[in-house]
Each structure stands twice: as structure tokens, then as C-alpha cells.
Structure 1
């Protein structure tokens, strides 16, 4: 138990140091290298290689990713060269220190339970798209460590439909097994990331987001079946 806590604490220190590195170098390197360097720093020091399945679409304008662990953002930053614009709940932009990690690269704050939140979300996403960035969303809206994805929230579909975006789903496999703040647990090892085929958002199809969740869950379950260590 003590050794497990020491491993977790080591990972926390590495993550904190990586975020500090990103903040420190942000104005000294071209965009988006500060985020990429920080993410690679963390990945290499916590010994988490990533095996990528499928291929990123060079024309993707939005990534939709399942969310289990605090490591997910760093993993995604290292498997694409794109300048990602993360959508995160507004409360995180108020957290001391961590808020700088979101504010410096001008990630997108989403205010929940607000009538004007989706209007602002669409406006901010249009601004980032005009800058050539890729809108990146955890459509579940929060982490879940059960392996069962929560229902995808409508915001991602509204943005994708509004601008007819090319959407590429990405399924990360059991990242909570490797790092969990909730359980205070850390296991080095290979993470599997699966790029699914991209598609153009079709606002005439009211069910595409729901159907995508079902598809991503099946991909997750099928991949998990090949890795008994996660069960």
C-alpha cells in the first residue's frame, strides 16, 4: 500500500512539474509546442508509451474523446501535432495555477446550467476554428472510471452541426487503470489509443451523437477484451 502511494505521488509530482514547464516556456516557443513539450515530458517520465491504432485525419476539425483519467489530455497532445482547443468546464478556469494551463493557450470555458452557455461555446469555437485549431471535447462532460461511457452531452453536436465539422472520434483504453487521482493509484504501462474514421457532422441526423457513443463503447469493450489485465 505504501509503495502504491509513493508511485502515485511520483506521478502527481511529474504532472505538476510538466504543467509548470508548460507555463514557463509558453511565451518562448511557437504554438502549440509548450503544450506538446509538457505532455511529452510527463509521458516519458511516468513511463506510459502509447500504441496508436488507426490514423489521424489531417483535415479533422473536432476530436471527440472518452474520458477516464487526468492523463487523457497529455496523451492526446502527444499523439497529434494539431493545435488543440480543449473545451473544459468554466470552474477549472478559476482553479489557482491550473487555470493558467487552460488560459494561456486560450482553451474554451463552458459554463454549465447557463442559458447563454451554448451561444458562447459556439462563438468561442468559431474563433478557434478560424485560427486553424481543432476543437477537442470530452463529450461525457466528466471522467468515469467504470469503463461505461456516460451519455454524451449535446454541446458537441451543436457545435459540429453548426459548422458542419469533420469529426474524428478517439477511444482511449483504460487510462484510469494507469493513473487515477480518485483511487490515488498509478501503473506505468502502454496505453492504447484508437482513431476511428472521421465523418462530416450531419445536422439532419438527430441521433448521430447517440449512435457515436454506442459505437465508441463497442470499440472500447472489444479492445478491452484483448487486455485481461484491465479487467
Structure 2
């Protein structure tokens, strides 16, 4: 029975849901880009992709549960720091965090057809860490974005996990967080690896759990980078099964 169900889902994914996803993604990118170019990037850069992400989770039969929304205030700017199990981290956070934000994205994602253009128009922050000048430019761009009361989402692992376990965090994300002097919110995503591992495009319907932890506030002298990194890792790990923590 499980094999039959899996086969049916395989057909559904590639012959029905997949084509619909491509068309909706294309339309969302156009709406986001044109809307952002006409003004109010904060609205057009968030709400069309927000509903696109929710639609994507529903379309591929993923259930998303969110815990800890009471820990954040919609009117406050944060730097959200999340683990990165798989592609569904992006769709589940975009669709269900329910807090307007910009992504801190890899520079190479700017090259994705239509999507990269839409992200650029929407004011997403692209990271160029290949040179010192690129890092400084990233900081300046991010500071300009956050100056208007926007929040930011960062994946400090830098890339998706190959086996579902957390990989070492990069210090750069926490150095940036220290520069912004905003409260940092650890976010745990669990179930994304089971939904679609990095090694395949085949999906498995499952439940994805997002846990929003309590904010970590900077002191008078800002953040201690190593301490902040350890605190965030500990908080994120606390909501993961033991086998996925390291």
C-alpha cells in the first residue's frame, strides 16, 4: 500500500503539482518585480511570495505547524537565524513565519531566471563574501534595509545539510547581526529534510515544524559574536530530535 501511495504521489508531483508550481512561480516573480518597481518594496517583496510559499506547501501536501509566535512582536525588527535542512525551509518560513522580512541570500541565487530578478527588485540582500569589499557592500546594503524597520532572515550554515543534521555555523551571519544591533531570534525548522533532501527533487509529504525561540537582545556594547553563535545554536538544537542536532 505504501508503495502504491508513493507511486501515486510521484505521478502527482511531476505531472500535476510540478507544472502548476512552475507557472505560479513565474507569475509571482512578475507580480513581485513589477509591484516592487512601482513602489513599496516592503509590501510587494513580501506578500506575493508569502502566499506563493503557502500555496507551494499546500500544493505538495506539506503540513506546517508553528510554535512560539508569542515570542515575537509584528511591529519589532529582528534578525531571524534559522537552521537549513532543505528547500522547504524557505517555503515554510516565507509562508508561515507571518513577519515581514528580507532574505540574506547567496549572490549566485541572483542568476536564477525570473526569481533572481524579482528578488533583486524586491530588495532582498545578496551576500558577496568573495572579497572584503563585497562583505562591506553587503553590510551597507543590509543596514540600509533594516534602517526602515525591516527584519532579516539568515541561514548561518550557509547551505543545506546533506544528511539532515546541523552543520557548523559561519561567523559572518552573527557578525552581521552584531552590526545591526537588533534582537536576534533563533528559529528551528524540523521536517524539511524529510520533505525534500538536498540529494533529490523527489518529495515526501510530511509535517514541517517551525519553532520561534525567544529573542536574544544586544547589551550596551552589542553582541559577543562567539557567545551569540553558541546561544543560537543551542536554542535551535533544543527543538530538534537528537539525531539531527550535529
1:200 partner SS: coil
In the comparison of the two structures, how many residue pairs are matched? 225
Greater CA drift, 95-104 or 69-78: 95-104
In 2, Cα distance between equivalents of 1:15 and 1:144: 24
1:25 matched residue in structure 2: 31
In 2, Cα distance between equivalents of 1:7 and 1:100: 29
Alignment of 1:75-86 (within 5 A): 75-86=92-103
Listed as ranges, the gaps of 5+ residues in structure 2 are 37-42
2:132 partner SS: coil
2:239 to 212, 219, 228: 219
Counting helix residues as a fraction of each chain, which structure ranks higher?
2
CA RMSD, Structure 1 to Structure 2 (Å): 2.6
Per-residue deviation, 1:195: 0.7
TM-score, L = length of structure 1: 0.85
Listed as ranges, the gaps of 5+ residues in structure 1 are 226-231
In 2, Cα distance between equivalents of 1:134 and 1:210: 21
Alignment of 1:1-231 (within 5 A): 3=7, 5-9=10-14, 10-26=16-32, 27-28=34-35, 30-31=43-44, 32-55=46-69, 56-58=71-73, 59-180=76-197, 182-201=199-218, 202-204=222-224, 206-221=226-241
In 2, Cα distance between equivalents of 1:43 and 1:105: 22
Q: Please tell me whether the aligned partners of residues 170 and 193 of structure 1 are also in contact (alpha carbons under 8 angstroms).
A: yes
1:118 partner SS: helix
In 2, Cα distance between equivalents of 1:75 and 1:83: 14
Q: Deviations over 1:181-216 (max 9, x none)?
A: 522321113211111111114424632213422332
